[in-house]
């Protein structure tokens, strides 16, 4: 067990534990805040993989954008309308079914991940990921990049439309 492994397991434990809280917590606010730690853990894994740009993007977009909006939504609806936002009471049957399917799915995934010989690209020592990402976005992935901008514009129009009163 070298240092990288230790760091990896540290982040992995954070991710899994906080993700479990997200799913299992009855209070939706706890779920939302635990998601914060999940995202942090994922960002940590990215750093470990030398993908610093992705890691920071993860922080900025997921933590700085999406999660804030989730928390906003929850806070505005619970405190201002006085509605308690709790997930429904889970019965024993649901626990059983949920647990069983989690086990089956988890087991399959673990089996698949361990038994598969994944594609390994030759490892290239990278100093700067940002330039490489920028270059690919404007050459090989130009079309997806531009398509994404249309997609985002559409989503913005749609969001404005839904938010509009009439």
Partner 1 sequence: MNPEQLKILGSSFLGDLLKSVNLFYPETALVVTFLLAILVDLFTRNRPSCKMSGYVSLIGFFVTAIFLCNSPQGMSFAGTYAVDAFSIFFKWIVLITSFVIIVFSFFSKELFGEERQMGEYYTLIVGMTFGMFLLSGATNLILIYLAIETMSMSSYILAGYTKEIKRASEASLKYVIYGATSSGIMIYGISLLFGLTGSLNLSGINAYLAGNNVNHITLLISGIMIIAGIGYKISAVPFHFWTPDVYEGAPVTITAYLSVASKAAGFAILIRLLNSAFTIHAAGDTINTAWSVMKNVDWTMIIAVLSVLSMTLGNFVAVWQTNVKRLLAYSSIAHAGYILMGVAVMNYTGVSAIMIYLAIYMFMNLGAFFVVMIIANHIDSEDLEDYQGIGYRSPWLGVAMTIFMVSLTGLPPTAGFIGKLYVFTAVLNSGMYWLAVIGVLNSVVSLYYYVKVFRNMFLRGAEKANQPIELSLTVKVILIALIIPNIALGIWFGGLVNWANASAAMILK
Partner 2 sequence: MNEILWLLLIFGIKAIIIISFVMLCAAAFVYLERKISAVIQNRIGPNRVGPFGLLQPFADVLKLFLKEDIVPKNANRFYHSLAPIITLGVAFSVFAIIPFASYLKIGDRVIHMGIAPNINIGFLFVLAMTSVGVYGITLAGWSSNNKYSLLGGLRSAAQMISYELAMGLAVISILLMSQDLTLTGIVEAQKGLKWNIFLQPLAFIIFLTSSFAETNRSPFDLPEAEPELVGGYNTEYSGMKFGMFFLAEYANMAAASAIISLLFLGGWNFPFIYEWLGFANGSVELVLVQLLVFLAKMLFMVFFFIWTRWSIPRFRYDQLMNLGWKILLPLGLLNILVTGIILMYI
- Residues of this chain that interact with partner 2 (CB under 8 A) are 3, 29, 33, 36, 52-53, 55-57, 59-60, 63-65, 68, 71-72, 75-76, 79, 127-130
Of 3 and 162, the one with the shorter C-beta distance to partner 1 is 162
Contacts of 35 (CB under 8 A, 6+ apart): 18, 19, 22, 67, 70
What does the longest C-alpha to C-alpha distance in the chain come to?
Answer: 61
Taking CB under 8 A as the criterion, the residue among 66, 69, 100, 154 binding partner 1 is 154
DSSP state of 49: T
Q: Does 87 bind partner 1 (CB under 8 A)?
A: no
Among residues 20 and 68, whose Cβ is nearest to partner 2?
68
Work out which of 2, 81, 117, 123 binds partner 1, going by CB under 8 A. 117
Whole-number Å distance between alpha carbons of 124 and 53:
17
Q: Taking contact as CB under 8 A, which single stretch among the options 21-29, 52-60, 88-96, 137-145 is the one that binds partner 1?
A: 137-145
Residues 134 and 142: beta-carbon distance below 8 Å: no
How many Cβ atoms sit within 10 Å of the Cβ of residue 124? 6
Report how many residues bind partner 1 under the rule CB under 8 A.
34
Q: Which token pair is 98?
A: 């949920």
Among partner 1, partner 2, none, partner that 37 touches (CB below 5 to 8 angstroms by kind): none
Region for residue 120 given its phi and psi (left: phi exceeds 0; alpha: psi -120 to 50; beta: otherwise): beta
What is the binding site for partner 1 (CB under 8 A)? 108, 111-112, 115-121, 128, 131-132, 135, 138-144, 147-148, 150-151, 153-155, 157-158, 161-162, 164, 166
């Amino acid at each position: 067990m070298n240092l990288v492994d230790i760091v990896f397991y540290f982040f992995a434990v954070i991710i899994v534990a906080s993700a479990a809280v997200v799913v299992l917590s009855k209070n939706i606010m706890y779920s939302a805040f635990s998601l914060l730690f999940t995202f942090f853990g994922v960002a940590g894994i990215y750093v470990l993989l030398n993908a610093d740009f992705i890691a920071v993007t993860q922080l900025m977009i997921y933590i700085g954008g999406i999660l804030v909006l989730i928390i906003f939504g929850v806070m505005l609806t619970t405190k201002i309308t006085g509605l308690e936002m709790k997930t429904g009471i889970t019965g024993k049957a649901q626990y059983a079914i949920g647990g069983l399917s989690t086990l089956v799915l988890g087991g399959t995934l673990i089996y698949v991940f361990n038994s598969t010989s994944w594609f390994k690209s030759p490892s290239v020592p990278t100093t700067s990921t940002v330039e490489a990402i920028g270059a690919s976005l404007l050459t090989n992935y130009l079309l997806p990049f531009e398509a994404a901008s249309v997609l985002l514009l559409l989503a913005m129009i749609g969001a404005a439309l839904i938010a509009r009163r009439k």
